[in-house]
Amino acid sequence: MINFWVAVGLSVLSASIFIWLSVSSQMKAAEVEESNAVESGRTKLLMLLGVLILLLVPLSYYYLGNIEKQQSWERATNDLSDISDGNTSLSQQMTIQTMILGLRTAIEKDPSNGQLWFMLAEAYFQLRMIDLADLSMQRAIRIDPRPDWFVANAQILSARSNNSDMSKSVNLLQSALSIQPDHQAALLTLGFLYARQQQYEFAISVWKRLASLVEKAGNDSSAINEQIALATKRLNERTNGG
């Protein structure tokens, strides 16, 4: 599992490059008037880098068993409705679509590259094209059945929150755990899915297992224990008719 600070470092590096290019563009514009074609090309490049930065952060979630990351993913899943409602700017959508076109072109040349299929799935997911994201992630998994990609596919499907997709998500996470029983991101996500379905007993069991793994590694499990306490409270309320 990739170290947390490595993921943070990648995000900071990408953001720094994006900021540097933006400042550089502004300084050059002040010195000399550039043609509309050059300026348009630079703007598109900056937009593309911006989207890449946005994609880099959610990609890191799948490699980390961090409770704060998981909670951020939960909020992002809820916010995805803004895209389907047309609240994403046209320029952002066109930039992601340009990225999708580039990835599909690369895949035509190298169809057995699982990483390209994974990236394509992430791009589709940004546009809430869940069916295409799911199909692309399935292709990635067939090429290379990584536990991290099972978790990613589960998170994509669970964005729709219907019973069928939630069931598939649980199966995907269980597949990840069959390959790597101590996969913290899979355990964390599985607990959240059980909690969303109000299957608190299962959520508590999974999170207790995760807390034990975290503690054995010498890390703080307090955030996970808070989730356990919350699930226990809701279970008691339901049992007592509260």
> How far apart are the C-alpha atoms of 189 and 195, rounded to whole Å?
10
The pLDDT assigned to 88 comes to 54
Q: What angle do CA 131, 135, 140 make, to 5 degrees?
A: 145
| CATH class of this structure's domain 4-25+37-197 | mainly alpha
| Boundaries of every domain in the chain | 4-25+37-197
- Phi-psi map region of 146: left, alpha, beta (phi>0 left; psi -120 to 50 alpha): beta
The pLDDT assigned to 68 comes to 54
Name the packing angle between helices 114-126 and 36-61 (round to 10°). Answer: 100
The pLDDT assigned to 40 comes to 52
The pLDDT assigned to 93 comes to 62
> How far apart are the C-alpha atoms of 204 and 4, rounded to whole Å?
25
The pLDDT assigned to 21 comes to 44
The pLDDT assigned to 226 comes to 94
Going from the C-alpha of 38 to that of each of 50, 51, 102, 143, the distances in angstroms are 18, 20, 21, 40
Show pLDDT as tens, one digit a residue, over the chain (242 residues).
Answer: 444 444 444 444 444 444 444 444 444 444 444 445 445 555 554 455 444 444 444 444 444 445 555 554 454 444 444 444 445 555 566 678 888 888 899 999 999 999 999 999 988 998 889 999 999 999 999 999 999 999 999 999 998 878 899 999 999 999 999 999 999 999 999 999 999 999 999 999 999 999 999 999 999 999 999 999 999 999 999 888 75
For residue 234, what are the contacts with CB-CB under 8 A and spacing of at least 6?
195, 198, 200
Q: What angle do CA 119, 45, 156 make, to 5 degrees?
A: 25
Place of tokens 């300084």: 27
Positive or negative, the CA dihedral 199, 203, 229, 186 is: negative
The pLDDT assigned to 209 comes to 96
Q: Does pTM top 0.95 for this prediction? A: no
